Amino acid sequence: MTGGSIKTTGIEESVLTASRIMVNILAESLISVKVEHITVAQFRILDMIQNLTNKPSEIARMLAVSPPAISAMLERLEERKLVKRSASTSDRRRIELELTGEGSALVTKVNANRKKVLDRVLRGMDEHSRYGLESSLLDFNRSFYALKGGPG
């Protein structure tokens, strides 16, 4: 069923619980790979730069934060030499973001740890449930990006 009102039986609560679990896995992964002085929110920005967009305005929109807030967060990441900001080659008024080698390595290392944890969780599910989850998550991602704009 697409659009309109969808009758649910606690699906929102299940998604919220899954979201909390994913945040916990991220936080545990930051600790596990010994990342210091990087918050979950800062890591999300690094991950978005590596995997979604290099535009501060898009990151701010997707995280629902103000441009000054994203600028302050980017400044801290730049001070830690994880991000570089530069003028766009196509429009000098726009800023583009790039991870430094250290920033890219950090995202890769943390996400590898996250994938290991997720693999263990998913192996605890039967094959039919894993397939259904994958299909449902693809639909969920498409729906989110249709609402928020972005990849999809």
Contacts of 132 (CB under 8 A, 6+ apart): none
The predicted pLDDT at position 51 comes to 92
The predicted pLDDT at position 1 comes to 44
Class of domain 11-148: mainly alpha
Q: What are phi and psi of 6, to 5 degrees?
A: -110, 125
The predicted pLDDT at position 90 comes to 82
- The whole-angstrom separation of Cα 83 and Cα 55 is 12
User: What are the 10-residue block averages of pLDDT along the chain, 152 residues in total?
Assistant: 59 92 95 91 96 91 91 95 90 88 97 96 95 94 81 56
Partner residues linked to 110 by β-bridges: none
The predicted pLDDT at position 147 comes to 83
DSSP string, 68-86: HHHHHHHHHHHHTTSEEEE
What residue ranges do the domains of the chain occupy? 11-148
- The whole-angstrom separation of Cα 107 and Cα 49 is 10
The two tokens of residue 149 are 């704009």
Partner residues linked to 95 by β-bridges: 87
Burial 125-137 (b: 16+ CB within 10 A, else e): eeeeeeeeeeeee
Is residue 81 within 8 A of residue 105, CB to CB? The reply is no
Beta strands in 8-150 (DSSP E): 83-87, 95-99
